[in-house]
Amino acid sequence: MANTTLEINPIVQAFLSGTKEMFLNGKWVPAIKGKVYESINPTTNEILAKIYEGDEEDLDVAVKAARRAFEGSWKNTAPRERARLLNKLADLLEENLEVITQLDALDYGGTLAVAGGFAENAVHHVRYYAGWATKLYGNTLELTSGGNIHAFTKREPLGVCGQITSWNFPALVACWKIAAPIAAGNTVVIKPSQQTSLSTLYIGKLIEEAGFPPGVVNIVTGAGGKLGEAITSHPDIDKIGFTGSTSVGRRIMEKASKSLKKITLELGGKSPNIIFADADLNKAIPGAIKAILMNTGQVCAAGSRLYIERSVYDTVKEKLVEIAESFVLGDPLDPNAQMGPLISKNQITTVEKYVELAKKDGATILTGGKRPDSPDLQQGNFYLPTIIEGLDEKCQSVYEEIFGPVLCIMPFDSIEEVVERANATEYGLASGVWTTNIETTHKMVDSLNAGSVWVNEYYLTDDNIPLTGFKQSGIGSELGLAGIEAYTKVKSVAINHG
């Protein structure tokens, strides 16, 4: 149980007691072998909850239930009924915003503002795809050869989708992995990260309350290496939807290729954020801070490489350091906290390793570079906002994803130079540009090799805007029309009525 003096919603308190069961075929059940793992509260490093650890046998129960639900009725359920159930789920999510926010804050350390914002996005997201359930169409086709042929396409669901999620913003990513496939008529077996399964399990309760038929959504819990691999190799799963690291994404692709499963992979990043001298610095500087410190830097699209045009470099640097040093670290449940802890002790070790590498490469640590001294923060996985300079793209801490509050700042002299350096990464997830010049804007939009380009903004995401990882950042898109089409197959039909 969380050792916090801050007020925890009684529903959350109650939910955290006992050992959390899996949601299979519309029922809450323990793991067949009875194994249990613990989720740790990153703010206190105490046990937060106990959760059953599933394996291949439990997965098989889930997949069979999902297959029965798919073939039995869900694929033919009227789209407006699928929409009704998803809208009901969205309403229940909205009624339970505080519970979901607190569960995520306790489980992964997101502040109330951040975890709460993501929980609200989850509500909008489920409503958004409820809308798409009734709006998926095929096309009527004119044949190049003419004739009395009626040809058309129709979109059909894929079948059973095995969905695997990461630990950062767990409730939102769970909804990303549930709403679109369900709206399109698929059924789902979802495995949340073993580090943050709680909000997904709570969403399972809401799915049950909304009245979805048994087996439409199944939740299995357990470790990636075992249960995750079982999902990617299960012969009766048609598609894998994955959010996580690039290394695991590669492994999933390899496994899924054995049975040619369809895949959507949303992977890592090392995104460039670029401030031109003509930018409105009153927006660009706080934007650059948000890009690296939101969610303690644990965001796939974090703007972790900041390029600053040389003539404004010192001004921007000074201000960035001032804001970083004023940042309030604290218990995520404290409304005053601007930044919570990192997810785990392991993640602290990772961040420390990269800061040490940066120092070896000759970096200057402008601020941070260590854990905070404050006695209140010693129990948790806190790390100070860190800004470093003096490196370039050849340094490991500049080209590898750190997933922590570590910003590397670098000056540049020309648009050509910054384009080349911004693109000098194996990743291609996101990028930010700050400028008031329309020509610069268009040049940058055309030149940046990343799935998302944000201009005079950072993290401008919306359900209508697809998220696509270029290069090693992924395969396929999530959100938008592309996000639901990814859970359908196109059947073409040609009827000779001559």
In the region spanning residues 84 to 123, those forming contacts with ligand NAI, defined by CB under 6 A, are none
- In 3D space, the residue among 164, 287, 284 whose CA is nearest the CA of residue 228 turns out to be 164
In the region spanning residues 393 to 422, those forming contacts with ligand BAL, defined by CB under 6 A, are none
Question: At closest approach, how far in Å is the CB of 230 from ligand NAI?
Answer: 8
Q: Say how far apart CA 477 and CA 498 lie, in whole Å.
A: 41
In the region spanning residues 312 to 371, those forming contacts with ligand BAL, defined by CB under 6 A, are 343-344
The maximal CA–CA distance of the chain, rounded, in angstroms, is 84
217 binds, among ligand NAI, ligand BAL, none (CB under 5 to 8 A by kind): none
Q: Say how far apart CA 238 and CA 493 lie, in whole Å.
A: 22
Q: Give 242 or 276: the residue with its C-beta nearer to ligand NAI.
A: 242
Handedness of CA 241, 247, 253, 254 (dihedral sign): negative
Question: At closest approach, how far in Å is the CB of 14 from ligand BAL?
Answer: 19
Q: Say how far apart CA 440 and CA 278 lie, in whole Å.
A: 10
Provide the mask over 455-484, with x wherever binding to ligand NAI is found by CB under 6 A and - wherever it is not: ------------x-x----x----------
CA dihedral 183, 116, 168, 356 (to 10 degrees): 160
Handedness of CA 29, 226, 206, 199 (dihedral sign): positive
216 binds, among ligand NAI, ligand BAL, none (CB under 5 to 8 A by kind): none
- Considering only the stretches 2-10, 262-270, 279-287, 360-368, report the one whose residues sit in contact with ligand NAI under the rule CB under 6 A: 262-270
108 binds, among ligand BAL, ligand NAI, none (CB under 5 to 8 A by kind): ligand BAL
Q: Say how far apart CA 366 and CA 371 lie, in whole Å.
A: 15
73 CB neighbour count, 10 Å cutoff: 13
Please report which residue ranges of 78-192 form alpha helices under DSSP H.
Answer: 79-95, 97-108, 112-132, 170-183
Q: Give 321 or 482: the residue with its C-beta nearer to ligand NAI.
A: 482
300 binds, among ligand BAL, ligand NAI, none (CB under 5 to 8 A by kind): ligand NAI
Our finding on whether 166 is near ligand BAL (CB under 6 A) is no
Catalytic residue among 120, 156, 266, 309: 266
Spell out the residues 6+ positions from residue 35 whose beta carbon is closer than 8 angstroms to its own: 52, 53, 55
Q: Quick one: 156 exposed, middle or buried, by C-beta within 10 A (0-12, 13-18, 19+)?
A: middle
Active site residue 71: no
Our finding on whether 107 is near ligand BAL (CB under 6 A) is yes
Question: At closest approach, how far in Å is the CB of 306 from ligand BAL?
Answer: 28
Using CB under 6 A, which of 23, 70, 74, 108 touches ligand BAL?
108
% helix, strand, coil for the chain, step of 5: 40, 20, 35
Q: In this structure, which amino acid lies at residue 287? A: G
Question: At closest approach, how far in Å is the CB of 168 from ligand BAL?
Answer: 11
In the region spanning residues 169 to 228, those forming contacts with ligand NAI, defined by CB under 6 A, are 191, 193-194, 223-225, 228
Q: Give 59 or 252: the residue with its C-beta nearer to ligand NAI.
A: 252
8 Å CB contact between 69 and 215: yes
Tokens at 275, concatenated: 């401030």
Provide the mask over 35-74, with x wherever binding to ligand BAL is found by CB under 6 A and - wherever it is not: ----xx-x--------------------------------
**What are the catalytic residues?**
266
- What residues line the site for ligand NAI (CB under 6 A)? 164-168, 191, 193-194, 223-225, 228-229, 232, 243-245, 248, 251-252, 266-269, 300, 401, 403, 429, 467, 469, 474
Give the binding site for ligand BAL (CB under 6 A): 39-40, 42, 107-108, 195-196, 343-344
